[in-house]
């Protein structure tokens, strides 16, 4: 038990963390290109925020939240998603009083107590964006295009944008009634979860993954037949913009998504070949949510991408992200008298912007060179008692074995130059 991590969680080990950092760097870069600023909210919130925000009848709130109470009987939940907390922070900090739209992004862990499987974890990471203050269909199209831009930069292929309009409080009740009428006589044949959904959230039955439910709803009325003129016109405008931006999409009138706050545009990005958990991102418009959480009436739209699933899809497609945690130079320190000058040199090199690894154990030159090889460094500096006497250090090129003697004072500058010749440093 002591040495076992909780089910559905992952350790990101030093060997893998480079690709996470690289992915995060790309996400931050693209966020800036599209005008988003980062927001960091707490990892837990009042349970009520998710009950009201995400919806009481969603699987997330009904079954998957990590809830806990503290002294005074206050109930908190680990955040299962980032939209409700962002909306809460937007309202609480009165960001709505600033010029709109407000464009925010976040990267961080989310928690859902679901059955773990490949691509589905109890602690996972999302990158998400939220835009407040604009109901222009141009922003709907732009956020979808932005998500696809991110995937394209990562080299991901064979992705599909599934798009739907889930209507609004005017048209959705009509569809809901029609759907219930249609399913009334078939209720017993639905899976136990969908039987529960029949009264509370019948639309969710439409995208149930259970085969028998899928068959039962094959001919069921879908929302596209019931959209009010405003939603219909809006949906057409979003599609027109997407086409203009060169984003391919697939209309899926059964796409409902598992969160209650959506109105009009809803979308999911699906990757082939990563197993059952194929949704690598999803989002939509949530125009009533800010008001529901206690703020002014203000439209909103956003998406979140699952970082584990992105990395899985990349692995599946043979794509890798360059590691950045490379060591520039190994410092071999030989003999007692070299210890302090060695420590000083290592410090100087690091202050000059070089990544330095060194020996701390007073090992032989052979052992230290072996460590340097294992790290894959191109350069090793060798500092022994003879070198110290002359204020010098030996620079060894590990690839061809050639050596040059440098003065201690010029070592950092020389190395910097050599390394910058090979690549542009960050």
Residues that contact ligand HAM, how many (by CB under 6 A): 27
d(CA 399, CA 379): 8
Interaction between residue 284 and ligand HAM (CB under 6 A): yes
Say whether residue 202 binds ligand HAM (CB under 6 A): no
Measured from the CB atom, is 121 or 379 closer to ligand HAM?
121
Q: Give the per-residue contact string, 141-160, with ligand HAM (x = CB under 6 A; - = no).
A: --------------------
CB-based closest residue to ligand HAM: 306
Contact between 82 and ligand HAM per CB under 6 A: yes
Nearest to ligand HAM of 91, 408 (CB atom): 91
Closest CA to 338 of 369, 366, 359, 367: 359
How would you class 141 by CB atoms within 10 Å of its CB: exposed for 0-12, middle for 13-18, buried for 19 or more?
A: buried
Exposure on the CB side of residue 36, measured as CA atoms within 13 A: 26
Cα distances (angstroms) measured from residue 204 to each of 163, 182, 201, 288, 393? 16, 14, 6, 19, 70
d(CA 114, CA 120): 8
What is the nearest approach in angstroms of ligand HAM to the Cβ of residue 64? 8
Choose one: 121-129, 148-156, 348-356, 380-388; the region binding ligand HAM (CB under 6 A).
121-129
The least CB distance from residue 228 to ligand HAM, in Å, is 22
Q: Find the shortest distance in angstroms from Cβ 100 to ligand HAM.
A: 17
Under the binding rule (CB under 6 A), the answer on residue 309 touching ligand HAM is: yes
Separation between Cα atoms, residue 426 and residue 423, nearest integer Å: 9
The residue written with tokens 């290109």 in the block is: 33
Give me the least distance between CB of 370 and ligand HAM, in Å please. Answer: 40
Q: Does 121 bind ligand HAM (CB under 6 A)?
A: yes
Torsion of CA 362, 389, 372, 377, to 10 degrees: 150
> Please, how many CA atoms are within 13 Å of residue 18, restricted to the half-sphere of its CB?
10
Binds ligand HAM by CB under 6 A, chosen from 130, 142, 207, 359: 130
Is residue 101 close enough to count as binding ligand HAM by CB under 6 A?
no
Residue indicated by tokens 């039955």:
205
What burial class does residue 405 get, using C-beta atoms within 10 Å of its C-beta: 0-12 exposed, 13-18 middle, 19+ buried? exposed
- Shortest distance (Å) from residue 121 CB to ligand HAM: 4
Judged by beta carbon, residue 45 or residue 308, the one nearer ligand HAM is 308
Q: 306, 312, 342, 393: which one contacts ligand HAM (CB under 6 A)?
A: 306
Examine residue 304 and tell whether it contacts ligand HAM (CB under 6 A): yes
User: Using CB atoms within 10 A of its CB, is residue 198 exposed (0-12), middle (13-18) or buried (19+)?
Assistant: middle
User: Which pair of tokens denotes residue 396?
Assistant: 């060894």
Q: What is the nearest approach in angstroms of ligand HAM to the Cβ of residue 60?
A: 7
Q: Could you tell me which stretch among 21-29, 117-125, 322-330, 401-409 binds ligand HAM (CB under 6 A)?
A: 117-125
Tell which one of 76, 90, 124, 127 touches ligand HAM (CB under 6 A).
124
Site for ligand HAM in 216-275 (CB under 6 A): 258-259
Q: Smallest distance from the beta carbon of 236 to ligand HAM, in angstroms?
A: 21
- Find all residues with CB under 8 Å of 299, minimum gap 6, and list them: 132, 133, 134, 135, 285, 287, 290
CA distance 375 to 63: 46
Nearest-5° angle of CA 57, CA 58, CA 61?
Answer: 95
Residue ranges that bind ligand HAM, judged by CB under 6 A: 81-83, 112, 114, 119-121, 124, 126, 128, 130, 258-259, 279-284, 302-306, 308-309
């Amino acid at each position: 038990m002591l040495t076992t991590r909780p089910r559905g969680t992952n350790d990101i080990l030093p060997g893998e963390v480079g690709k996470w950092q690289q992915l995060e760097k790309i996400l931050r870069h693209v966020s800036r290109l599209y005008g988003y600023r980062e927001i960091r909210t707490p990892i837990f919130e009042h349970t009520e925020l998710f009950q009201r925000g995400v919806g009481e009848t969603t699987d997330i709130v009904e079954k998957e939240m990590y809830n806990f109470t503290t002294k005074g009987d206050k109930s908190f939940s680990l955040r299962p998603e980032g939209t409700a907390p962002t909306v809460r922070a937007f309202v609480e900090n009165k960001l709505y009083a600033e010029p709109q739209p407000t464009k925010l992004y976040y990267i961080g862990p989310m928690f859902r107590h679901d059955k773990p499987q490949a691509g589905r974890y109890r602690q996972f990471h999302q990158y998400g964006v939220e835009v407040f203050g604009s109901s222009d269909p141009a922003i709907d199209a732009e956020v979808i295009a932005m998500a696809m831009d991110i995937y394209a930069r990562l080299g991901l292929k064979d992705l599909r944008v599934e798009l739907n309009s889930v209507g609004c409080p005017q048209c959705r009740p009509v569809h809901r009634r029609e759907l219930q009428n249609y399913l009334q006589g078939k209720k017993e044949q639905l899976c136990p979860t969908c039987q529960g959904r029949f009264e509370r959230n019948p639309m969710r039955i439409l995208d149930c993954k259970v085969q028998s439910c899928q068959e039962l709803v094959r001919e069921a009325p879908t929302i596209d037949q019931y959209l009010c003129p405003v939603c219909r016109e809006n949906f057409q405008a979003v599609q027109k913009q997407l086409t203009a931006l060169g984003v391919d999409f697939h209309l899926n009138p059964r796409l409902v998504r598992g969160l209650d706050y959506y109105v009009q545009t809803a979308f999911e990005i699906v990757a082939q070949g990563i197993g059952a958990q194929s949704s690598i991102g999803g989002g939509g418009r949530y125009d009533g949510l800010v008001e529901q959480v206690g703020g002014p009436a203000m439209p909103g739209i956003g998406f979140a991408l699952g970082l584990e699933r992105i990395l899985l899809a990349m692995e599946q497609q043979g794509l890798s992200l360059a590691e950045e945690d490379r060591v520039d130079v190994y410092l071999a320190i030989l003999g007692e008298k070299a210890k302090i000058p060695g420590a000083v040199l290592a410090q100087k090199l690091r202050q000059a912007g070089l990544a330095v690894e060194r020996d701390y154990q007073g090992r032989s030159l052979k052992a230290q060179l072996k460590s340097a090889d294992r790290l894959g460094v191109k350069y090793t500096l060798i500092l022994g008692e003879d070198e110290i006497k002359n204020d010098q250090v030996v620079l060894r090129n590990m690839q061809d074995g050639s050596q040059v003697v440098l003065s201690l004072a010029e070592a950092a500058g020389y190395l910097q130059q050599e390394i910058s010749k090979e690549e542009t440093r960050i």
